[in-house]
Amino acid sequence: MSRKYIVALVILIAVGLGIGIGVLSFSPTPNPPQSNNATQHIDPDWTFPSESEPAIPLPDFRPVVAEVMPSVVSVTTETVVSSFFGQSTEYVAGSGILIDDKGYVVTNEHVVEDAQNIYVELADGRTFSANIVGTDPLSDLAVIRIDATDLPYACWGDSGSLSLGEWVLAVGNALEKGIGVTQGIVSSLNVSVTSGGNTLFGLIQTTAALNPGNSGGPLVNMSGEVIGIISVKIVASEVEGVGFAISSDEAKPIILNLIRYGRVTYPWLGVGAQTVNPLLAMSMDLPVDRGALILEVVAGSPADTAGLREDDIIIRFEDKEISDVVDLVQALRASEIGEEVEIVFVRGEGIKTISARLVERPTS
């Protein structure tokens, strides 16, 4: 038999037996065997789990914006600046809040500081000149007034009822582009921040984006109530979403005094102090690890008259425990000028009690 017939016969036999040779395999095994590794995770009855509860939707901010927007104003100030090249006019943009229908506007003290002229633009586009009613650098609050009536005004809220994680909106003239809104949450409460050599107390920290021009604008809750007045933002390359507002509870009595009297008076003890914490107590070998360590006693002050000295540690002021300087400042501000207060302090290894009669804080 010749070679070509032998090859043809082999091919025919192979096809007849169902043996695949290259592309000539036309008869694959109907049910190929499965290894244990391939089948151990198979579950023919698996389905996606059903949702036990519907997803909670994000809040609708539109009604809040509609409620508060008419009462928020843009504030622009003119300040004359002197330099080597002569005098020039500098314009500063900020925000404010109408707090009644008679033209009173709350803003920041640093917005109107040294201003020769102040202009207020309402949400409806009208612009008015404004006069300063009163300012308070210690709280960074100011009240100005425009000559207009029947104005939309903001509702005041209770900052004491705020909770961490609560939604808030910041409203203001950010970047001088008109009144806009950003959203965020309350990230911390009762915060103290030092800015420009002055310490602000009782602040609300928020993640709502704040930009130049937001200063003096409101921070509002989901009912459209003002629960803070935007004041400070930490600006650093490694910091994101850290802004602060003066709480409405801190601001209300100050605003009332500014409108009624044109200024704010504070009780004064006459000490400079530092917070005592465990690290400071260990490093200085202090007898207690909390309180307000007196660094300076002003001559002739109530503290000096009462007998307080440097290195004394105040641990109680009237009925309030003093754990840090913030506690001491808040206890002082809750007191009255002329009031005689009881102060408990640590001196050496002993605890002493004195009485001091508070006076009005000096203006300079």
Active centre residues (catalytic): 110, 140, 215
User: 193: helix, coil or strand?
Assistant: strand
Q: Distance (Å, rounded) from C-alpha 142 to C-alpha 229?
A: 11
- Encode 113-134: b = buried (16+ Cβ within 10 Å), e = exposed: eebeebbbbbbeeeebebebbb
User: CA angle 153-159-161, nearest 5°?
Assistant: 125
129 within 8 A of 117, measured Cβ to Cβ: yes
217 within 8 A of 72, measured Cβ to Cβ: yes
Cβ neighbors of 181 (< 8 A, separation 6 or more) are: 61, 65, 69, 169, 170, 171
Cβ neighbors of 245 (< 8 A, separation 6 or more) are: 170, 203, 204, 206, 219, 227, 228, 229, 230, 231
Strands (DSSP E) contained in 108-254 are 117-121, 127-136, 141-146, 155-156, 167-172, 180-195, 198-206, 218-220, 225-233, 243-247
Burial of residue 316 (CB within 10 Å: 0-12, 13-18, 19+) is middle
108 within 8 A of 136, measured Cβ to Cβ: no
Q: Distance (Å, rounded) from C-alpha 106 to C-alpha 40?
A: 70
Residue 251 carries which side chain, given as an amino acid letter? Answer: A
Cβ neighbors of 53 (< 8 A, separation 6 or more) are: none
User: CB-hemisphere CA count at 13 Å for 139?
Assistant: 31
